Amino acid sequence: MIDLLKQAVGVMQDAGAQFCDARYQKVNRTIIQIVDGGVRSLAEDLTGGLCLRARSSGSWGYASTNDLDRKKVFLAAERAASNSRLGSSKGILIPASKAQRRDLKAAVGLHPSKVPLEEKLALTKDLEKAQRISPQIVNSTAYYMDSVRTNWLVNSFGSELKWEEVRGRLFGQPVASDGIRTELFYNIVDGTKGFEMFKSLDLEEFGRHCGKEAVGMLSAKKCPFGEQVCITDPSVTGLLSHEVMGHASEADEIIKKRSFLSTVVGKKVASDLITMVDDGTVEGAYGSIPFDDEGTPSSRTRIIENGVYRGYMHSLETAAEMQVRPTGNGRAQDPFRRVFVRMTNTYFEAGDWKLDEMLEGVKFGVMTDRFISGMEDPVGGGFEAKALRGFLIENGKVTDVLRSFTLTGKALEILKTTDAVGKDIRLDGGTCGKGNEDFVPVADGGPYCRSRIILGGG
């Protein structure tokens, strides 16, 4: 494969490309969904394709194919180079970078390709069954996914790369009803690990806990409204880091002047306790990658440091335009989509507070537990999220369970009020779209954080 990609790069160079790369990607994936004891979906699929990309002056040209016939690959390479000449003749050149030669296998204990489909199916069935703890559980769902993504990349810098990414996810979601109200609960285990992360689980306990919490939600109370002291759990903390601060820190949004953070580098934007990073090197995290889809090694990018805004995430193009180093954030959904600046694992770093200490300082407030949805607002900097549930805090103690509610406010105003940051970090995996498409695997999270946020609904 590497030889074919090298030849394709040579074709694009001969056609006048100032920079070019060729990337082949193959993805093996297993998806299983069990609903109410029945198999809703069961699929093993294999997809693959070749992306050829050329840059001439300020314009990119793309071509892609899933046919690896040599002549067809070379025709696609010529087309990519030709396409690159159709755009702007003025633009920043991609500066030369040191050539790399690597062949990396995913560091996993039990590779999912070595696990029979029957074992994966049995695991998913066991999780679904374990959720049905009561007649009040009216719907139970278990979802299993694993993927093995193998990438080959050659570029005109002379880099020759091959790397593997292995991901897995197990999800349980029961729905409870008492005939008047209907509530749900969920829990997820995921990461860039092998099947060992599922074999080590107590599936019975995992499922029963989900079912018990769903039933308990039927007696949850309404959340107090208005601006309140709020301790956000790692998942809601992660929504703030990802949906607002993260998307607004993608350098292509900065260049387009579509970010409220465009002019704040070097300025104080948050409490001294706030440090935020995007780090694609976190071991085992769902968004971790050895290289981005341009062949840049993954890195740790400090976005906010002790409340001061430090900088952005970059692709090769945005780094060249802003005259900085690329950060390993040039990512594409698949070989048939373009590269954008995208996050990897985006989160707030840990502080010094234990959760009990954070609670002790609250006379009246709310603590969140898991999110349902969040809003992306890189232009206005607004934060809007919906929590699955929460807990009322009274005189430093957790009292009532609260049903789903919303959190709103301006991100920077919230971060300036943060007066306590927890010691322990959790990252939750998922997929992120650029707008409403082009999805890539990411993770976000952080510690418990205590701030003032406007609450409503419930």
| pLDDT per residue rounded down to tens, the chain (458 residues) | 999 999 999 999 999 999 999 999 999 999 999 999 999 999 999 999 999 999 998 899 999 999 999 999 999 999 999 999 998 767 788 999 999 999 999 999 999 999 999 999 999 999 999 999 999 999 999 999 999 999 999 999 999 999 999 999 999 999 999 999 999 999 999 999 999 999 999 999 999 999 999 999 999 999 999 999 999 999 999 999 999 999 999 999 999 999 999 999 999 999 999 999 999 999 999 999 999 999 999 999 999 999 999 999 999 999 999 999 999 999 999 999 999 999 999 999 999 999 999 999 999 999 999 999 998 899 999 999 999 999 999 999 999 999 999 999 999 999 999 999 999 999 999 999 987 788 999 999 999 999 999 999 76
Query: How far is Cα 428 from Cα 150, in angstroms, rounded to an integer?
Result: 23
Q: What is the CATH number of the domain that holds 40?
A: 3.30.2290.10
Q: What is the dihedral of CA 286, 291, 297, 299, to 10 degrees?
A: -20
* Residue range of the domain that includes 373: 226-456
pLDDT at residue 458, as a whole number: 64
Per-residue tokens: 390: 């929460």
Asked if residue 452 and residue 354 are part of one domain, the reply reads: yes
Instruction: Compute CA distances 100 → 162, 238, 364, whole Å.
Output: 10, 33, 56
Give, as one character, the DSSP assignment of residue 335: T
Give the span between the Cα atoms of 281 and 147, in whole angstroms.
19
pLDDT in the model for residue 92: 86
Of 420, 270, 398, the C-alpha closest to 353 is 420
Q: Do 284 and 428 have their domain in common?
A: yes
Confidence (pLDDT) at 364: 98
Residue of 7, 53, 13, 86 lying closest to 316 (CA atoms): 53
Clarify whether residues 327 and 413 are in a common domain: yes
Q: Do 38 and 13 fall within a single domain?
A: yes
> Tokens in use for 362?
């609250």
Phi/psi at 137 (5° precision) = -80, 105
> How many Å apart are CA 162 and CA 36, to the nearest integer?
41
Tokens of residue 142, six digits: 């278990």
Last residue of a domain, one of 158, 186, 219: 219
Contacts of 117 (CB under 8 A, 6+ apart): 30, 44
Residues 14 and 79 both lie in one domain: yes
Domain final residue pick, 191, 219, 247: 219
> How many folded domains does the chain comprise?
2
Residues 252 and 179 in one domain: no
Q: Are residues 254 and 193 in the same domain?
A: no
pTM over 0.85: yes
Check whether residue 49 and residue 193 sit in a common domain. Answer: yes
H/E element, 331: strand 330-331
Asked if residue 367 and residue 282 are part of one domain, the reply reads: yes
The closest alpha carbon to 449, from 276, 285, 287, 257, belongs to 276
- Do 95 and 203 lie in a common domain? yes
Token look-up 């998922």 returns 430
> Strand, coil or helix: what is 265?
coil
Handedness of CA 109, 111, 114, 117 (dihedral sign): positive
Domain boundary among 219, 244, 278: 219
Judgement on whether residues 376 and 416 belong to the same structural domain of the protein: yes
Report how far apart, in Å, the C-alpha atoms of 197 and of each of 44, 118, 126, 173, 185 are.
Answer: 20, 17, 16, 19, 21
109 and 65, same structural domain? yes
